Structure 1
Amino acid sequence: MPNKQHFETLAIHAGQEFDPTTGAIIPPIYQTSTFVQNGIGNFRGGYEYARGGNPTRTSLETLVAALEGGAHGFSFASGLAAEDALLRAILEPGDHVVLGNDVYGGTHRLINKIHSRSGIENDTVEMMDLNAVQKAVVKGKTKVLWLETPSNPLMKISDVGELAEIGHAAGAIVVVDNTFASPYLQKPLALGADVVVHSTTKYLGGHSDVLGGALVMNDAELADKVGFQQFAAGAVSGPMDAWLTVRGIKTLAVRMDRHSANAQAIAEHLVGHPAIERIYYPGLESHPGHELAKKQMSGFGGMISLGIRAGAKAARKFAESTKVFQLAESLGGVESLMGYPSEMTHASVRGTALEVPDNIIRLSVGIENVDDLIDDLDRALPKR
């Protein structure tokens, strides 16, 4: 499927050829652990053992690569498994990682608590401050510059192009976690990044029923290294997980349009609410990254964070009082979710420079009727 086709067409057709045996429009799920060889070492279609490859996983990898405009896609059992494979493919003892001071807590934990045991050093920096990033990277030593945009959970917008130039000048591989935006709203590789990472659990799967992660890149040498890690360590997605993710991606474009529209309406409705001291949503003109987001994104997404004026106690009560918004970790599903990052998604970074203020509530705005969502929030929010 040529990448010149539009996103919505690729999302439905890339890697999804009909079954030539039966004509089934949906490719079958290859629920198998091994493949019969046509003679010793003569693999049928290149498949030998499911850890090394499975046609259902291949279809997902082909699809995600096409949507991100990349040459090589890899699917994993979780987003963190994808991140771990990438880091192992790049880093050696003594290497240095620079990452944003507002990254997902699990990413920081992986680098700071696990890879640090192998002699990997890391520093966090405000990615919106290009001068600070320039000072943080060390030429010849910093091997990875890692950013999220929009970031989790404070919705910071980082300039991918400018940061890619800084990272490349230092000899670093520039990695963008594109989970919040999805490839429908943002294409980091086209902006200058080297690798895109996704938790496919979120918007790509889109239905809160599957766990997964993905990497996309253009560099063939790096792809070989990542492929080796995928095969040798084995944290691959199973065929049913891959199939569910593909099914979810088919409606990604229409879902992201609705997520974005609902979130924009909610953010605008909450402006000036007496209980809210700050709304973190790049679709608002008051957001410090609004103009940059307009430049490098085609929409603002479905994630909003709120700073509750009365503090942690009021924030916790609000999080536990909604009916349509469900209190749960994760994001990007069709249903609306609410989280309290300080003690949920970012509990692992409490007491560090990445600590999330305890008055922050994170909303994953779903695709329900927006009036119902607004009514739910209005009923639960403090009156002042």
Structure 2
Amino acid sequence: MTKHHLNTRLLHTDSADFDPESGIAPVSLPAIRTSTVRFRDLDVLDQTMARKNKGEKVVSYGIAGLDTHRALENVINTLEGGSYCVLNPSGLASIHLAFMSVLKSGDHVLVSDNVYGPVRVMHETLLKRLNIELTYFSAEHPDPASLIQPNTRMMYVESPGSLLMEMLDLPRLAGIAREHDIVLAIDNTWGAGMLYQPLALGADISVIAGTKYINGHSDVMLGAVVTNRDDLARQIHATQYAVGNSVSADDVWLALRGVKTMAVRLEHHARSALQVCEFLDSHPLVSRIYFPAWEKDPGHALWKRDCLGSNGLLSVSLNCSPDAAKAFVNALELFGIGFSWGGFESLVQWVSPGALEPHSYWKEPGKALVRLHIGLEKVEDLIQDLNQALDQISAS
């Protein structure tokens, strides 16, 4: 059988089957909504429960999802190179599931200090109460293995980071994890499987916020946990069922619709983002651009080695104070002020100095940082908007 490109396989994975009587099939798989399923007889019920108890993903009750859910899980497995995927109501819920599936009270986790901010909240509000200890480390640490303790069970990282786009040497970290028999889990929301495939680089678990590029339209909250290890799949499967996370079939359908155009959207986002970088690089108010696909970014070599493409997310430090940068943010007309990214629209986030303090990668104290998501608007219009907003700082 011909081995097609990922973009092609993505469009054809889990398409709707033809009706055996009419020979007709819809282009888009329908959203199958139900809380309860019926069994033809008790033998079918017994067979279903026996398969379920073995860890198979069978349809037995609405909380575990039906055909629509299986289709998106198969699509995400195709993207990530995984053998098991489970959906969650958000990216953060997926991070929580990954932690709870691997860890028990008394365990220790090494966490890269560039992780998604709410992970620290989860640590303070939940993990400490469960007697799970976290140690944050810099990706630039010369010997992360020296931080491993006898009770270290997992290493959790994000690459690239979603605030400063810091690239981590994932194969190096995977080698350390294997040597010490600990699980390496990664937040792959930036890469969404199409740009970055951490399981192929040695990670054991990949976590995605499908809220972002997989959906692409800023109208769905969704997460996923993916692995290609059977032992971890069994642990994740059992934990997900115990926790009871569930995702609306309509949200899953929206993500299935959105993911079909992800390849062309990402190409547009990435192309426009590089043009924005070229403009920003020439502006005297710009101190540094954080975007690994940008050739002047310190992580560019790792990006070229490990990534398959780029997207529209970048951060920019400005030669002014954080307070002065608020005038820039407020002056933007085409960029909505918001925390998310990955949709069709352009967004800007003013980053507070406090949010940057835990990041050892941040080496510009006193300067302002703004994060930009370059959307699908005409890039010349976005550049013109950025230019007039930068003039606001110059004027003040």
TM-score scaled by structure 2?
Answer: 0.90
Which residue pairs with 1:163 in the alignment?
A: 173
Within 2, Cα distance between the matches of 1:284 and 1:85? 34
Q: How many residues align?
A: 377
Compute the displacement of 1:3 (Å): 10
Give the corresponding residue for 2:42.
Answer: 40
Specify the code of the residue in structure 1 equivalent to 2:147: A
Check 1:121–1:76 CA distance in 2 against 1; reply closer, same or farther (3 A cut). Answer: same
Q: Contact conserved, 1:11 with 1:251, CA < 8 A, in 2?
A: no
CA contact (8 A) 2:114 2:358 kept: no
Q: How far apart, in 1, do the equivalents of 2:209 and 2:18 lie?
A: 28
CA contact (8 A) 1:74 1:216 kept: yes
Contact 1:112–1:122 (8 Å) recurs in 2: no
What SS is found at the alignment partner of 1:306? Answer: strand
Identify the residue that residue 92 of structure 1 maps to in structure 2.
104
Shift of 1:98: 1.0
The answer on 1:58 being equivalent to 2:58 is: no
Identify the residue that residue 232 of structure 1 maps to in structure 2. Answer: 242
1:273 is paired with a residue whose SS is coil
What letter is aligned with 1:256?
L
How is 1:1-384 mapped onto 2 (pairs within 5 angstroms)?
4-20=3-19, 22-40=24-42, 42-43=44-45, 46-129=58-141, 131-138=142-149, 140-342=150-352, 352=358, 359-381=368-390, 382-383=393-394
> Cα gap change, 1:266/1:355 in structure 2, threshold over 3 Å: closer, same or farther?
closer
Q: Tell me the CA shift for residue 52 of structure 1.
A: 2.2
Aligned-partner Cα distance in 2 for 1:368–1:239: 30
SS in 2 for 1:196: strand
After superposing the two structures, state which structure 1 stretch, 106-115 or 55-64, moved more. 106-115
1:166/1:3 Cα in 2 relative to 1: closer, same or farther (>3 Å)? farther
Q: Work out the CA distance in 1 between the residues paired with 2:357 and 2:197.
A: 34
Alpha-carbon shift at residue 315 of structure 1 (Å)? 1.7
- Report the structure number with the largest CA radius of gyration: 2
In angstroms, what is the RMSD of aligned CA positions? 2.2
1:334 shift after superposition: 0.9
Q: After TM superposition, give the deviation of residue 41 of structure 1 in Å.
A: 6.0
Q: Distance in 2 between matches of 1:156 and 1:3?
A: 37
DSSP 3-state at the match of 1:92: coil
Task: Read off the aligned partner of 1:378 and give its amino acid letter.
Answer: N
1:193 is displaced (CA, Å) by: 0.8
Please tell me the residue identity of whatever aligns with 2:128. Answer: S
Q: What per-residue deviation string (whole Å, max 9, x for no partner) do you get for residues 312-337 of structure 1?
A: 11222211211111111100111111
Distance in 2 separating the partners of 1:250 and 1:36 = 32
Shift of residue 247, structure 1, vs aligned partner = 0.8
Whole-angstrom CA distance in 1 between matches of 2:333 and 2:163? 22
**2 CA distance for matches of 1:217 and 1:3?**
25
Q: CA deviation at 1:62?
A: 0.8
Tell me by how many angstroms 1:352 deviates. Answer: 5.0
Measure the CA separation in 1 of the matches of 2:249 and 2:18: 16
The structure-2 alpha-carbon separation of the partners of 1:266 and 1:112, relative to structure 1 and needing over 3 Å to count, comes to: same
Deviation at residue 108 of structure 1 after TM alignment: 2.3
Return the alpha-carbon distance in structure 1 between the equivalents of residues 61 and 3 of structure 2. 33
1:135 partner amino acid? S
Question: How much does 1:69 deviate?
Answer: 0.9
1:20 alignment partner AA: D
Farther off after superposition, 355-364 or 34-43: 355-364
3-state SS in 1 of match to 2:193: helix
How far apart, CA to CA, are the structure 2 residues paired with 1:80 and 1:11?
25
What SS class does the counterpart of residue 63 from structure 2 fall into? coil
8 Å Cα contact 2:351-2:368 kept in structure 1: no
On the 8 A contact 1:262/1:302 being kept in 2, the answer is: yes
Structure 1 residue 128: deviation in Å? 3.2
Task: Report the CA distance between 1:135 and its aligned residue.
Answer: 2.2
Relative to 1, partners in 2 of residues 1:351 and 1:289: Cα closer, same or farther, differing over 3 Å? closer
Deviation at 1:25, TM superposition (A): 2.1
Secondary structure in structure 2 of the residue aligned to 1:103: coil
Cα shift at 1:19: 5.0
Partner letter of residue 120 of structure 1? I
Letter aligned with residue 359 of structure 1 = A
1:350 is displaced (CA, Å) by 7.2
| % identity of equivalent residues | 33
Runs of 4+ in 1 over 3 A off after TM superposition: 43-46, 349-358
1:24 deviation in Å?
A: 1.6
Residue by residue, what CA displacement relative to the aligned partner does 1:96-125 show, whole Å, maximum 9, x if unpaired? 111111111012222343112101000111
Shift of 1:201: 0.2
Give the secondary-structure state (helix, strand or coil) at the position aligned to 2:295: coil
Q: Distance in 1 between matches of 2:61 and 2:118?
A: 30
From the superposition, tell whether residues 19 and 364 of structure 1 become closer, same or farther in structure 2 (CA, over 3 Å): farther
- Residue-by-residue CA offset, 1:143-172 (whole Å, 9 max, x unaligned): 111111111201111011011001222221
Contact (CA 8 Å) 1:97, 1:143: kept in 2 or not? yes
Answer yes or no: is the 8 Å Cα contact 2:79–2:192 preserved in 1. no
